[in-house]
Amino acid sequence: MRLLARTAKSIINRFLERIQDCIGKNSIEIVENRVENVSSDTGLGLCVPEKFRRNELSKVYSKRSNEGYKALLDKCTDDNVVPALKAGRSLWYWGGEKYSERAYNLLKKAYTVLQHETLLHILEIHYNNREIKWVDMTDSKEV
């Protein structure tokens, strides 16, 4: 049993060393005080900086109606990014192929407002190939 515990500890220590090495090599900034999440219907919170969260509880638009979708895109600005981000995430997660383009456009607009260049790039990769389960952010060919 002790041998198993030592082996597990050794594996964990090597894993931590590899993570720390990756963080150092890629100059990844560790943010200790992460932004509070905005809840979403996917079960995954949205990390939105405080300065973009002013109208978090603003009018809710139907993301599936043409009028609601257009309003979400048009009103996605620095002080009203959360509704489009929430709707885009929801459509991407629940909407399937039918709402894929709307989800992409909403997320693209929100990520642009939030200046999330890496997420824009990852979104583009996933939109062009929805079969990809994940994108390795350390692989320069993908990101």
Task: Give tens-digit pLDDT for 93-108.
Answer: 888 888 899 999 999 9
Residue 132 has pLDDT above 90, yes or no: no
What six digits make up the tokens of 10? 């050794």
Half-sphere exposure of 120 (CA within 13 A, CB side): 10
Q: Does 94 reside within a domain?
A: yes
Q: For residues 122 and 62, state if they share a domain.
A: yes
Share of the chain above pLDDT 70, in %: 82
What six digits make up the tokens of 85? 């981000």
Return the H-helix or E-strand segment holding 37.
strand 37-38
Q: For residues 46 and 109, state if they share a domain.
A: yes
pLDDT in tens, 8-52: 888 888 888 888 888 888 777 776 665 557 777 887 778 777 777
Q: Does 142 reside within a domain?
A: no
Looking at residue 108, its pLDDT comes to 97
Indicate the pLDDT class of residue 143, thresholds 50, 70 and 90. Answer: very low
Q: Domain range for residue 111? A: 34-128
